[in-house]
């Protein structure tokens, strides 16, 4: 770990001991008036380190995080990072289907931090779901675990690989498909697939499907219908979505929703 990242980690450890204000965003049903805002098909945690860290939401609200404040963002919640341009520094943790990524913005630390998905993902999900009285302790448990995790800094040095990674960040929410990734890479299909799998640990098709299914689970749980969920997650038709869902979960989406409602 280089000295710059070490300083970030030391600051994160102090915040873990005494976090500031905690904002929680879980409503994935809102759709923004512009697709410049984006979503993650997985839960995300943002910790403000220095300055003012701005977040714009789909409903027009803006959050301003002070140093030590946190924002927990549920799967599928539309948002935009640092819209005010005030130069706040933050660290964010997200979760790929195969590993967890850490980004520090805008320090320019070269690389994307890789950590294991678990147990930090389960702890962040628990903090998102915690009652207000228990949330502070849940956030502290997540951060305390995060600062103990070994971090591997990497960067997609190959131009074609980097182009696909950036395209996934920008367009996960707008019906991206493997052919688009191949095209943006500028590489032959076999090489593009090899580079993508080398970075994410999955083929483009498998990675996109896993991300869509995770997003779909949140939307269904929050009450969106099958047709709306299929469209929002990038499937061409509700029938195609239903087939993919059944292969993954063993039952059609409507039956899964009935069972989930009965459990809760």
Same domain, yes or no: 59 and 132: yes
Total count of domains within the chain: 3
Beta pairing class for 53-57 and 89-95: unpaired
CB atoms within 10 A of CB 109: 18
Structure tokens given for 214: 């995770």
228: Cβ contacts below 8 Å, ≥ 6 apart: 219
Q: pLDDT digit string (tens) for 161-171?
A: 999 998 888 77
CATH number of the domain residue 146 falls in: 2.60.120
Co-location of 134 and 30 in the same domain: yes
> What was the pLDDT predicted at 80?
86
Are 134 and 55 in a shared domain? yes
CA distances from 161 to 63, 65, 114, 196, 261 (A): 33, 33, 17, 6, 41
Out of 154, 183, 217, a domain closes at 154
CATH number at residue 211: 1.10.10.60
- Count of Cβ atoms closer than 10 Å to residue 181 Cβ: 26
Q: What is the pTM of this model?
A: 0.92
**What are the tens digits of pLDDT across the range 47-95?**
999 999 999 888 888 899 999 999 999 999 998 887 555 668 899 999 9
Is there a single domain that holds both residue 29 and residue 149?
yes
Same domain for 10 and 75?
yes
Q: Say yes or no: 58 and 70 in one domain.
A: yes
Q: Looking at the structure, do residues 182 and 222 belong to the same domain, yes or no?
A: no
Residues 179 and 252 in one domain: no
Give yes or no: residues 193 and 136 share one domain: no
170-184 average pLDDT score: 84
Say whether both 94 and 110 belong to one domain: yes
Domain that holds residue 214: 204-264
Q: Do 37 and 167 sit in the same domain of this protein? A: no
d(CA 98, CA 118): 10
229-243 pLDDT, tens digit per residue, is 999 888 989 999 999
């Amino acid at each position: 770990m280089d000295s710059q990242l070490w300083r970030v980690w030391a600051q994160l450890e102090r915040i873990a001991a005494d976090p500031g204000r905690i904002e929680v965003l879980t409503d994935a049903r809102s759709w923004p008036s512009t697709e410049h805002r984006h979503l993650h098909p997985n839960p995300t945690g943002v910790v403000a380190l220095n300055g003012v860290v701005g977040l714009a939401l789909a409903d027009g609200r803006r959050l301003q995080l002070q140093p030590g404040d946190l924002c927990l963002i549920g799967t599928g919640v539309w948002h935009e990072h640092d819209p005010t341009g005030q130069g706040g520094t933050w660290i964010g943790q997200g979760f790929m289907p195969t590993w967890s990524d850490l980004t520090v913005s805008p320090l320019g630390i070269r690389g994307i931090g890789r950590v294991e998905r678990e147990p930090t993902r389960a702890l962040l999900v628990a903090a998102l779901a915690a009652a207000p009285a228990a949330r502070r302790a849940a956030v502290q448990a997540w951060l305390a675990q995060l600062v103990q995790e070994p971090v591997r800094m990497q960067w997609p040095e190959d131009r074609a690989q980097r182009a696909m990674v950036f395209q996934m960040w920008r367009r996960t929410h707008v019906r991206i498909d493997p052919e688009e990734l191949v095209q943006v890479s500028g590489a032959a299909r076999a090489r593009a697939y090899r580079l993508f799998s080398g970075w994410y640990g999955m083929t483009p098709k498998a990675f996109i499907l896993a991300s869509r299914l995770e997003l779909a689970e949140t939307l269904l749980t929050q009450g969106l219908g099958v047709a709306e969920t299929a469209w929002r997650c990038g499937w061409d038709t509700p029938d195609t979505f239903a087939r993919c869902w059944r292969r993954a979960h063993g039952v059609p989406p409507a039956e899964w929703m009935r069972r989930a409602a009965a459990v809760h």
